[in-house]
Amino acid sequence: MAITKAQSTYLTFSRVNALSFASLADAVVILYALKLGADDSFVALIASFLFLSMPFMLLGKYSVARRGAVKTLTLGWILRNCCALGLFFAPVAQKHVSVPFGFFLFGTAAFAFASFRSFGITSITPIIGDITSKENRGQFIAQNWFQANLFFLIAMLIIIFFTNRFPSVHTFQTIIVFGSITGITAGFIVSKVPESDKPARSAKEPIKSTLHYIFYTPKSRKLLLAWMALTGGLLLTIPFSLLALKNGYGITDDVALVFSGMLLVGGISASYANTLILDRVGPRPMMILYSVVLTGISLFWIFVPRHFVWPLMLVPFFFAGTCNAGINTTLSHYLLSTIPSDRTVSISMIMKIVSGAFAGLCGSVLGSGILRILNNSSVQGLWIYKLYFSIIFLYFILAVIVVKKLEPVEDRRVKDVLGIMFSLREWRALFTLQKISESETEEEDQKIISKLGRIGSDISEESLAAFLDSPRFLTRARAIRALRQIDYGRSTVEKLLDEVKNEEFTTAYLASEVLGEHGNYEAIPVLRQALHSKDVFLVGKTMLALAQLEDKPSYKHIETLFLSSQNPRIIIYGAQALVLARKLKALPPLLHKLADADLNLSVQEELLYCITEVCGAADLFYKYYPLYKSDFSEMLNRLRSDMTGQMEKHEFHIVLNYLHGSDEISLSRMNHKNKCLQTIEEFSQSCPHLKSVRNFRFSVALLLLSDKSKS
């Protein structure tokens, strides 16, 4: 994908912001809170702030309408990271004032941090929509997540190192300061992203109008429900998985951060995969798969063993990270694909506010409430979290149902997406397709097209069809040949029809061939017109294509062209078309054409093969004809050996004598039931020249042998 200056600046912002957010992420803040003596309910409340603060997006909308999206994001990011510095003073307040006041300061700083984040993120979706196009949006969103998660992982590895070497409150305070400074820096970087007036105009839409649109438009209404279900599912899974690990198994902070790092590995994997696949399969099936994976994570914790097993415990965190990155990416992609550009600010804001409030309630009320009840019961240790995820499992069943109700947006079936994800061939195609956006020369394009043709993946259809707009004949020709190897849809059929209509004497004949082979019956009217072309390549391929499409009204015209033409290509393809379309009825015109004294040997051989094909002896012709031409004696020995026990010896000798050119025999007397032999004998009598056609006797002899070998 070619990166614009605006996209490049935004990616730089994402990288620096990832360093900041890693230092101020849920995992670090949760471990910092636990280090200060916080209980499970306080941790659950802190984890919910990210979502409970979503109403502050209303202020963000107002700011976007007045200042623009970029300035709003800049202001929000600088203020949120200034507020994060308040976390630094929480242990100071605990020591010099009181423990409750220290937690109050901690909670206030965390809530302010989350609130200004909500204020700023109002701008993110409109900015991405403004600096991307429909063609590269999914790839850019996924690439942005990939870059952010990669830098997040680097920062997290450094944090794990320091918390392992220096496991103290002061270490966490240093991390908080670093995160705040890099976050403020990221705010200044994003201020350099250029923007149009679209986000500001979109933000001016009244809230009442936005709500009316969401609740009375099926796509947006279903998207809101899915957004709520998935963000709630993430909040009920990720922080509580970390609690299950920390409190259920009693692991140390640095070990807990390793598992938090595994969230990032999963996020990076999902982000990179999405750069390849998201624009190809659509966001809906991916959302369904992510919701199913979240359900699987809850099942994992229900049946997790009592003893800590390192490799096994990495699994749920890897897949949780995959879901976190994947869900955020696909939700944004689905919104930008279904919502008018002049409504993106208001609608994305409402989606995030409502879903955020719902997710916050899930964490602070549902999740925290369940843990509080279980902590006050006789249940202890890991069993608390086993029971917690048993209850939450029911939530995920409902979430999957809600997500499945999303309306398709030019996407593939979930079954097909699974087939792609577990197919090495499809991934090869995806990697190859990625190179298309990086290709800058015709030679590179042709290499990519040829490789896609060899791979034969249906997922390459859109890109191959796009090459049909190329001004170069070779590029279009290779693209059409590659399309032959895949199953394509209606839009590609239309492009191929345009080739037939507009590319006479160049690639029209290739398009005609592919349309016939793929059984595209809607092409019949265009192909009928192509029979009148002066392009013999096109006419030949079209005759065969119409026969493949069983267009009976064209049969008479095909036969007329075949009989009247002296062009070898028309004769050869016409013969194939007649055999395919008319079967035994094709024999008279084939014999008539064979008697033409002006035909060259190769055309005669093609017609003889077609005659044996009509009469059911094509396999014998294909097997023995090379030997007949090169070594007649060896061919006779092979025939004699193969026919032993297949027919009477005296009949076999009659056939051999005929083959040697002896006196004529009555073909119909050999087998009066064989209509092919009767037709050939009658035609031979009316057209004596036919008997002198080179290799004609050989073909008839094979018909006699074939007929007897079947009986």
- For range 649-672, the mean pLDDT: 66
Residue, of 323 and 333, whose pLDDT is higher: 323
CA distances in angstroms from 663 to 651, 653, 660, listed in the order given: 15, 13, 9
Q: How confident is the model at residue 709 (pLDDT cuts 50, 70, 90)?
A: very low
Q: How confident is the model at residue 617 (pLDDT cuts 50, 70, 90)?
A: confident
184 CB neighbour count, 10 Å cutoff: 19
Residue, of 42 and 581, whose pLDDT is higher: 581
Amino acid 28: pLDDT: 82
**Residue 381: closest CA among 390, 371, 393:** 371
User: Tens of pLDDT along 337-357?
Assistant: 888 877 777 788 788 788 877
CA distance 256 to 593: 83
Mean pLDDT value across the chain: 85
Residue carrying the six token digits 């595994």: 262
User: Tens of pLDDT along 112-165?
Assistant: 998 998 899 888 888 888 888 776 777 788 788 788 878 888 888 888 788 878
Domains (ranges, CATH) in the chain? 5-421 (1.20.1250.20), 627-711 (no CATH)
CA distance 123 to 119: 8
3-state helix, strand, coil in the chain (%, to 5): 80, 0, 20
User: How many CA within 13 A on the CB side of residue 327?
Assistant: 27
Structure tokens at 479: 């693209």
User: Tens of pLDDT along 211-238?
Assistant: 888 888 888 999 999 999 999 999 899 8
CA distance 709 to 711: 6
pLDDT at 24 over 60: yes
Query: Do residues 26 and 160 make contact, with C-beta atoms less than 8 angstroms apart?
Result: no
pLDDT at 710 over 60: no
CA distances in angstroms from 46 to 51, 243, 245, 701, listed in the order given: 10, 13, 18, 91
Amino acid 100: pLDDT: 87
pTM: 0.67
Most confident of 220-224, 415-419, 542-546, 694-698: 542-546
DSSP 533: -
CA distance 489 to 522: 12
**Residue 465: closest CA among 439, 441, 499:** 499
> Residue 699: helix, strand or coil by DSSP?
helix
Residue, of 380 and 326, whose pLDDT is higher: 326
Beta carbons within 8 Å of 301's beta carbon, 6+ residues apart: 241, 244, 316, 385, 386, 388, 389
CA distances in angstroms from 273 to 95, 145, 267, 278, listed in the order given: 48, 11, 10, 8
pLDDT at 604 over 60: yes
Q: What is the 3-state secondary structure (H, E, C) of 458-489?
A: HHHHHHHHHHHHCCCHHHHHHHHHHHCCCCCC
pLDDT at 556 over 80: yes
Taking the chain, what is the end-to-end CA distance rounded to the nearest angstrom?
Answer: 65
Question: CA 376: distance to chain centroid?
Answer: 48
pLDDT at 452 over 80: yes
CA distances in angstroms from 652 to 309, 649, 656, 702, listed in the order given: 79, 5, 6, 11
- For range 197-206, the mean pLDDT: 78
User: Tens of pLDDT along 161-194?
Assistant: 888 788 788 888 899 999 999 999 999 999 998 8
CA distances in angstroms from 3 to 10, 340, 425, listed in the order given: 10, 24, 28
Amino acid 539: pLDDT: 96
Please, which contacts does 512-515 make with residues 24 or more away whose CB atoms are closer than 8 Å? Answer: 512/538, 512/541, 512/542, 512/545, 513/484, 513/541, 513/544, 513/545, 514/480, 514/483, 514/484, 515/545
Amino acid 672: pLDDT: 54
Most confident of 475-484, 506-515, 676-685: 506-515
> Residue 112: helix, strand or coil by DSSP?
helix
- For range 9-19, the mean pLDDT: 92
- For range 365-389, the mean pLDDT: 86
User: How many CA within 13 A on the CB side of residue 400?
Assistant: 14
Exposed/middle/buried for residue 164 (C-beta within 10 Å: 0-12, 13-18, 19+): middle
**Residue 329: closest CA among 293, 294, 265, 277:** 277
**Residue 696: closest CA among 623, 591, 622:** 591
CA distance 562 to 226: 61
